[in-house]
Structure 1
């Protein structure tokens, strides 16, 4: 949760950061530049997946955990010490991008290690349920980041927050880093990894084994196909929804944060419900079901959000016109889809690959699908919506054109999943054959 808090602080402030670290003059260009910097952290996640996945399969899960946490915590805290564009010009922008890249590298090694570590400790019949606790942490980290920002912003006022108060949520990472490192130092190595290493069966070259073996390579591609849909469902339901509220519907930041926070609070327990359900009906049905619902309903959901928040198309949404209950439910519905596709994902990925190369093999497709396909969604969707083509072709309805991207990717995952994904819930993860058979 601490790691996701660190990573999502910037995403929660992406609209705000445009004016702090990028040249003045054009609000749309500032927003796109800020979102591109947010995306930069996702761009390097596959590299982190290869580096830390390789180390995790060579030397162990626990030690890799310590490195990724320290890198993430320091990268986040240092953002809180950065000079702004007004002080250092383009140098401040470059430093911000560099620290986002450090965060992305760390996160690239984090998720695969967490999923592998937990899955290798728990009973086979409850793997979906136990690993779904990991899936709650991304939402919890996002929720906490918005909460800390909201409290700081409301307490200090807009002027003080813009001048210096925005640094506080980042500097809090120093405290979180100490707590997290203490916890991780107390952890023991995964029992499956320890047993495998003691038997002399550990991989000598996890990267080579993961990506040159044709059977394993096929599983990597299948995993990528599944995660691509999960990624767009995740970032549509949480980040793009928040951006859409503020930039397209012109809802003030406080109302936007409150609505998204309510929706997150309502739906986060569903990760555990869907994780539990995946142990009974399987991973595939839930993952593809969430993608299908997204593809079918995103457009009507976002049109309804417009209707219930700013029906008259005012330059700025009138708070008196916002139907808060309807808006919270529409946001929560999108997050139900997030829970459906994400809750069983850790178990699904772990079950595809053998212990000796599991960390490496599952990390790369996860961070390509979630990091690239999903992580760049706010930038791509906002750029499409702001394009001259969208405005000329769709007029007032151009605000919905950004949804073409997540809907299209959901359809791709549905096709790939129907043709190639097989159910994994009964695979034995202590088996040394690829696919867990």
Structure 2
């Protein structure tokens, strides 16, 4: 829709709108005088000009009608106008053809997605026509076409579409074309993984060993692993691809390679910070009975990245099981960090964990100093986040058990403050 706006809104109309606003708001003229809008204005592409030909006028009006039909979800009407619009592809205006092609591609697929009578054949026709109308969008149209085929269960057709795109070349390869080709390789390998999963499911549900099926599985594994392994050479967020590759490696018991892939994905500093990478590594290590110390090391880094992550409840549990005094103190910090975020404010499990940590911490002689140190930076705003009359009223109605746990911690966490959160102040939701 942004492309349509860029097509249809002339700069002059924007200026006129600004003037109208000024006239309608005469009371604010004194404050608006001399001020210019800071909003960026786009350059119009297809607007009426004094030298506009009949061809351009008809196409522009057609695009306006398509836009109006789309905005009001009149899909049949939009489809009828769209049948005429592709004549714009015949326009030889320099620098405009590629933009017209992309607009045609985007509008046509949007109409087909919503039209009640659209068929798979219609999609295939528009994708094929747009792929061969120019080279700039060829790879991305192939990728989108494969997604559509995949959504309709045509996995092998989707793979065939990407295989054709893999071998496509045009002129000297640009940086953008190189990146798109890598993306095509990755998604083609992901489809190999999906087919491999189907083969594995069939194999696991049969009572006899089929050597032919095993060979097919191995072939798809090899095809998928080639490009999935290459992904780690390109910094980025590749979660579904990494998970697919690790699952296959795990199935063939290549644990050394699977662990290397996950470690590289989590700790390679050329990649953007990705909390999921550390979650995947932790889950893999846990599945293979890794020591608690190694598990805590992974979760420690995750805590640095996302203190509010749900895995922090598990991290605090591991720390609480430790016999080291410092680990108990770390557990206190981890749970308090979680409760710094409103999303955990009414979570009973987190508050129970905090109570368990405090009980174990109280076995240490310096527990008051430890709690005071952790709460020092929080004392000015924590009571407003957790311990007000509003909170006690809400908790007493929604979760009395939570209110009881929180009330038992108020004097420990904030011993020097007169808090309004008290279980004794509310009975059956009423103030005493």
TM-score higher than 0.5 here?
no
Higher relative contact order (CA 8 A, sep 6+): 1
